[in-house]
Structures are given as structure tokens and as C-alpha cells.
Amino acid sequence: MLTKAFCMLFLAMISCRTLGQENPVFRSESQVVIIPALVKDAKGQTVYGLQPRDFVVNDDGVEQGVQLDESSDLQPVSIVVALQIGRRAKREFSRMVRLGSMLDDILAEGRTISEITVVEFDSQVRTVRGFAHDEPPIADYLKDVSPGDNGAAILDAVNYSVKLLTNLPKDHERLLLLISETRDHGSRKAKLDQVIEAIGRSNVVVYALPFSPSLSQVLDTERGLNKDEWRPAGAPFDVGAPLLMTMNAARKNVAKGLASMTGGEYELFASRRSFEDHMFDFTNRLHSRYVLSFQPKDPHVGFHRLSVRLRESNSLTVLARTSYWAQK
């Protein structure tokens, strides 16, 4: 009896040890990469009715098997609005006067718009309206917006907003509406590589509505082009080239770079009319994205370069995330 019990105990220990060794492999193989994708025709109109076979998805140059979530238009949608109030944002308040009421209209539609939270930022970032369903109308929060200090901590605001969205249930579609300047001024808590990694680990789509850039911003951008390319300390050379391309693009124009890498849209506004037109576009496309997914074939940990295109059509444009970050 003792010998039999000892054998059973030994077999149990071997089984547990084997399971412990196999768990990391199972987690790696079961990783699913989500790709929200917007398809537009030559006139900028949304294209519907495509099938998984119509899309070609490459992960670091290797074509992947693609699946399409047919029920994506029924997914709950969660939105964070990151509104710059610092630096030169006060000049734009009159153009954004209907922002609160337009966001309330989105919530009033019901359907699957689950929640909208509002974050404001200057040199600091703070939530002014949470995700709770019993919050007062958004217009009440935004009717008396006060100018902030001389900061525009865009990276801090995006990092903060992505964390809010990442903590939501996995079945939620996550959108970040970023209303800001094009260049970061004063972020202290988040670095560019940290923000890119945070976005790469999520399926957040950034829709950027930047202020029309001033002459000084243009000059700053031109000066940035003349500087040596920035490379994060310790970045491996084998994945450094595409990662550096992403980072350098984002450095020159943070809003545009982050929108592009998530498959979002970037629309400058310089008047109240153009701002409201772009907000209508944002509203109309809340349920217009295809939700593609794939399981990476033998993925390496860290940064991955993605490309998404249509197999046959040359007249259509696909907006989709250009990278993701594989988990350990």
C-alpha cells in the first residue's frame, strides 16, 4: 500500500511539473491580436460587406490566417475624450462650443454606446467625468471650461486614457478621441516608448482632432526633422528599424503618429464648422470598423509590425493598426 501511494504521489508531482512547464507555451499560442479596421472608398465613404478572405494581414512580413467578428456592430463601445485645456487651447474653445452636446447626443442614441468619460489636461491630467451611468450630462461639465496652464502633456494624457480603457471588459470596443495640439509640451509621467508599448498591448483606436498648427509649431517640427533619429536605450537592433520609424513619426506629430499606428483618423480643424463636421464623421464611424483577429504564428516577445490591405482592390483604403506588442 505504501509503495502504491508513493507511486501515485510521484506521478502526481510529475504531472504538475509538466503542466507548469507547458503553461507558458499555451499562453503564447493562444494570444489573439485584435485589429479594428476601417475601409474607405476614393470619396472617403465607408465600405461594408467585406469578408475575411478579402483581407491580407502580415505580421512582421508573414501572412496570417484572418478571422472576422460578424457581431462587432453589437459590441459595447467605450469612449475616452482627452481634451487639452492648456497652452493655446483657450483660442479654440469657441470652435468646440458644441462638443458637450454632441457627445451627449452619442450617448442618447443608446444602441451599444456603453459609456463616455472626459479627461482634461494641461501640464496635469485629470478625469472630469467618469464612466458611471448616473453622471450628469457631458455638456454640464464642458460649458464652463477654464483655460489651464502653459502645458500640453499629450503623452501623459494618452497614457492615462489608454489605462482607463484597458481596464474595461475585454468585449468593449475602445476609442480615444484626442483633441489637442500636434506636439507634446510638458509630459513628465509617460515617455513616448511607454505610450507606444501601452497602445501596442491594447486595441484602442485613436481619433485625433488637432488644432490647426501655428507657425511656431511648424518651425518646431522642421527643427525636429534636422535632429538625429532618436533611439530608446537598449532597443534591440533586429526590431529597432520599424520601431524607430514608428517613434520618429510620432515625435514629429504626436497626434498624427498615434492615430496612424492605431488605425484611427487624423483631421485638423481650424473653424467651428470643420470641428463639427469631423465630430459628425467620428459619430458616424463608431460602428463602421471591421474587427479582424488572428493568432500569431510563433510570435516573438515585443514589438511587431503589422500591415493590413485588401487582396484585390486598389481603389479602397484600409485604416488599421500598424503594430502590436506581444506579451511575455
pLDDT (tens place) for every residue of the chain, 328 residues total: 434 444 444 444 444 444 444 333 333 345 889 999 999 999 989 999 999 999 999 999 999 999 998 876 667 888 999 999 999 899 899 999 999 999 999 888 766 666 899 999 999 999 998 877 678 889 998 988 899 999 999 999 999 999 999 988 877 889 999 999 998 999 999 998 899 899 988 889 999 999 864 533 443 344 343 343 333 444 443 445 666 666 665 667 899 999 999 999 999 998 899 999 999 999 988 888 999 999 987 778 888 999 999 998 778 999 999 999 887 6
- Under 8 Å between Cβ of 251 and 187: no
Beta pairing class for 113-121 and 125-129? antiparallel
- Residues 158, 219, single domain; the answer is yes
- Under 8 Å between Cβ of 282 and 176: no
What is the CA 42 to chain-centroid distance, rounded? 25
Cα–Cα distance measured from residue 324 to residue 299, given in angstroms and rounded to the nearest whole number? 11
Cα–Cα distance measured from residue 114 to residue 294, given in angstroms and rounded to the nearest whole number? 26
Question: What does the pLDDT read at residue 133?
Answer: 67
Question: What does the pLDDT read at residue 135?
Answer: 80
- Under 8 Å between Cβ of 257 and 246: yes
Residue 16 lies in a domain: no
Give SS3 for 293. strand
Question: What does the pLDDT read at residue 243?
Answer: 61
Residue 7 lies in a domain: no
Question: What does the pLDDT read at residue 110?
Answer: 64
How many domains is the chain built from? 2
Strand order in the sheet with 55-59: 62-63, 55-59, 302-310, 323-326
- Residues 142, 125, single domain; the answer is yes
Question: What does the pLDDT read at residue 11?
Answer: 42
Domain that holds residue 227: 72-284
Question: What does the pLDDT read at residue 290?
Answer: 92
- Residues 158, 112, single domain; the answer is yes
- Residues 135, 124, single domain; the answer is yes
Place of cell 450617448: 107
Query: What residue spans of 60-214 are helical by DSSP H?
Result: 99-108, 138-142, 154-166, 192-200
Whichever domain contains 278, its CATH number is 3.40.50.410
Give the Å distances, CA to CA, from 299 to 83, 197, 230, 240, 320: 36, 16, 26, 16, 20
